[in-house]
């Protein structure tokens, strides 16, 4: 049997979710999530959900430290499998800070998470600015101007999004929506 496809992974994850509660896992739910993690250790949504459920659930006959070690392993695996995505970094940072009580390490994870998230926001906003500017209608140019003003407050002057903001302003000025300047 080959590696399961994306649809099968999500189907198995839905089945695992349905086997227990959202905030208190059943033994069957944990079993299904663990089986899915073994089947596909790179399926980050399952790793994050299993870690969250384990943190909320007291498993009988398991020491807290053993449970915490499993959670930390799952979160570390999620960070690695997701190529250090912001959501995975955030979850690991919360665990390192709140459970392991090592704020210095958590701070580094939160900083990396924030930088990653900001790069994503900048990319998405640049795409929106370009889309709205190229549509070149009053409504879309007004949306671009509003988003551009927010981008100017959020991103440092050297950020590449400022070129997109300037382009949107030029189009808005040509359309008579703002004064050139």
Q: The tokens of 160 are what?
A: 């590449």
Asked if residue 59 and residue 92 are part of one domain, the reply reads yes
| DSSP 8-class letter at 5 | P
Counted domains in the chain: 2
Does residue 109 sit within a domain?
no
- Domain limits at 31? 6-101
For the stretch 117-147, pLDDT in tens is 999 999 999 999 999 999 999 999 999 999 9
- What's phi and psi for 49, nearest 5 deg? -70, -40
CATH number at residue 62: 1.25.40
Q: Strand, helix or coil at 22? A: coil
Asked if residue 148 and residue 79 are part of one domain, the reply reads no
Asked if residue 31 and residue 72 are part of one domain, the reply reads yes
Is-contact 76 92, C-beta < 8 A?
Answer: yes
For the stretch 48-93, pLDDT in tens is 999 999 999 988 888 999 999 999 999 999 999 999 999 999 999 9
Task: Please identify, among 55, 73, 101, the residue that sits at the C-terminal boundary of a domain.
Answer: 101
Is-contact 85 116, C-beta < 8 A?
Answer: yes
Asked if residue 143 and residue 81 are part of one domain, the reply reads no
Does residue 58 sit within a domain?
yes
């Amino acid at each position: 049997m080959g590696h399961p496809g994306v649809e099968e992974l999500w189907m198995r994850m839905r089945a695992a979710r349905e086997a227990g509660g959202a905030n208190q896992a059943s033994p069957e739910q944990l079993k299904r999530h663990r089986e899915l993690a073994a089947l596909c250790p790179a399926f980050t949504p399952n790793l994050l959900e299993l870690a969250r459920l384990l943190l909320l659930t007291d498993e009988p006959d398991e020491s807290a430290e053993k449970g915490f070690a499993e959670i930390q392993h799952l979160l570390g695996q999620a960070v690695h499998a997701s190529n250090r995505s912001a959501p995975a970094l955030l979850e690991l940072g919360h665990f390192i800070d709140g459970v392991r009580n090592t704020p210095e390490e958590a701070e580094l994870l939160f900083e990396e998470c924030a930088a990653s998230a900001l790069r994503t926001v900048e990319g998405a906003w640049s795409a929106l600015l370009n889309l709205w500017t190229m549509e070149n209608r009053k409504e879309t140019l007004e949306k671009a101007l509003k988003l551009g003003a927010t981008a100017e407050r959020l991103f440092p002057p050297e950020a590449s999004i400022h070129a997109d903001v300037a382009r949107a302003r030029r189009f808005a000025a040509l359309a008579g929506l703002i004064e050139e300047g």
